[in-house]
Amino acid sequence: MAPTPPPLDPALERLVRTMPKAELHIHIEGSLEPELIFVLAQRNGVSLPYPSVEALRAAYAFTDLQSFLDIYYAGAGVLVTEQDFFDMAWAYLERARADGITRAEIFFDPQTHTERGVPFSTVIGGLARACDEARGALGVNAALILCFLRHLSEEAALATLEQALPYRDRFIGVGLDSSEVGHPPEKFARVFAKARDLGLRRVAHAGEEGPPAYIRSALDVLHAERIDHGVQSLKDPALVARLKAERIPLTVCPLSNVKLCVFEDLSRHNLRELLDAGLVAMINSDDPAYFGGYLNRNFVETFAALGLDAGHAYRLARNGFEASFATPEEKAADIAALDRHFDACGFAAPE
């Protein structure tokens, strides 16, 4: 166990908590809190294998990615109606606003639901309605990214993309998630090529537990524009040089990496090394209901554990906005707001 780090300087903590941020790596099903799981189970007559919220939460002791995914897919089984999907997304978006998030690019896993007989239209209907309403009601500019489950076949992913076509204007891109090792990006070459032809943006989980070679093939074969996680990249200096030269963003998730035993504790996380290597890294929450915290908790705990400062805060927030798929005008407005925030807090925004 690492010794408890000293608390953050209060002015730095305030700056970090209140600065405008983008969140680019959040699985909406991973924002489903145990309390809401129980409410939805009751609403839909679904029986749960846990007697209470506390018992469910106590089961969140993971040893690796797969041990988490098993419980995460089971939790998503309580989502049945369009209103359920809306309620889940709305709860996240309210927390996003509280954490200063002005841009959220939200992953969803349609196959987790369509495999159980929930229509694709029900899933995307509820999620898209929440995103639409969040802009006016919460000031959060939110967009959806459809993820394919890599433990399933490419044929299943192609069928999912086909099902999604009537809703093409309700999501901005595609991603790749679920069990990484043994399911290399190459398995999904055709479906990503099709998504590219359709003008969809592309991201992929790679180098969370899997080797640097998966990051290379996510770039070369899937034409991924961002890498989700990517923390294994430091094992391969030539890959680091390429990520730097091509300014490929890495959506890093510190609390997730500790919960899934990628790093022993936060003080051993490699975020500082990634930034020092000149990579476009940023902080995200991944599955906040399961990993012990939303975006601000990821920021505050990581800053305390790694001794990061206001310069790092600016770089991380700015990387998030630059890596987002928002329009150039939206990005410029977000970055201008970030600069004003640093000014107002008495920290000069670094060049």
Ligand X SMILES: Nc1ncnc2[nH]cnc12
Binding residues for substrate: 287
Minimum distance, C-beta of residue 290 to ligand X, in the bound complex (Å): 8
The Cα 113–Cα 109 span in angstroms is 7
Is there binding between residue 65 and ligand X (CB under 6 A)?
Answer: yes
Q: Which of 208, 246, 301, 330 is catalytic?
A: 208
Minimum distance, C-beta of residue 348 to ligand X, in the bound complex (Å): 35
Minimum distance, C-beta of residue 286 to Zn ion, in the bound complex (Å): 5
- Tell me the β-bridge partners of 281: 250
Q: What are the helix (H) ranges across the chain?
A: 10-18, 34-44, 53-58, 65-75, 82-98, 110-114, 120-138, 154-164, 189-197, 212-220, 237-245, 254-259, 271-276, 288-291, 295-306, 310-323, 328-344
- Residue 234 corresponds to which tokens in the numbers above? 């430091």
Cβ neighbours of residue 4 closer than 8 Å, sequence gap 6 or more: none
Of residues 76 and 317, the one with the C-beta less far from ligand X: 76
Of residues 27 and 216, the one with the C-beta less far from ligand X: 27
Of residues 227 and 338, the one with the C-beta less far from ligand X: 227
Identified binder of Zn ion from the candidate list 84, 105, 286, 334, rule CB under 5 A: 286
Among positive and negative, which fits the CA dihedral 164, 167, 168, 170? negative
Is there binding between residue 23 and ligand X (CB under 6 A)?
Answer: no
Is there binding between residue 254 and ligand X (CB under 6 A)?
Answer: no
The Cα 261–Cα 5 span in angstroms is 19
What is the per-residue binding string for ligand X in 187-216, x denoting contact by CB under 6 A? ------------------x--x--------
Rounded CA Rg of the chain: 19
208 as an active site residue: the answer is yes
Minimum distance, C-beta of residue 203 to ligand X, in the bound complex (Å): 12
The Cα 87–Cα 43 span in angstroms is 12
Which residues ranging from 259 to 298 are in contact with ligand X (CB under 6 A)? Answer: 286-287
Of residues 149 and 317, the one with the C-beta less far from ligand X: 149
Is there binding between residue 178 and ligand X (CB under 6 A)?
Answer: yes
Minimum distance, C-beta of residue 228 to Zn ion, in the bound complex (Å): 5
The Cα 119–Cα 125 span in angstroms is 10
Is there binding between residue 105 and ligand X (CB under 6 A)?
Answer: no
Taking the alpha carbons at both ends of the chain, their separation in whole angstroms is 37
Count the residues of the shown chain that bind ligand X, applying the rule CB under 6 A. Answer: 11
Q: Is 40 helix (H, G, I), strand (E, B) or coil?
A: helix
What is the per-residue binding string for ligand X in 35-54, x denoting contact by CB under 6 A? --------------------
Contacts with ligand X, residue ranges (CB under 6 A): 27, 30, 65, 72, 177-178, 205, 208, 256, 286-287
Contacts with Zn ion, residue ranges (CB under 5 A): 286
Catalytic positions = 208
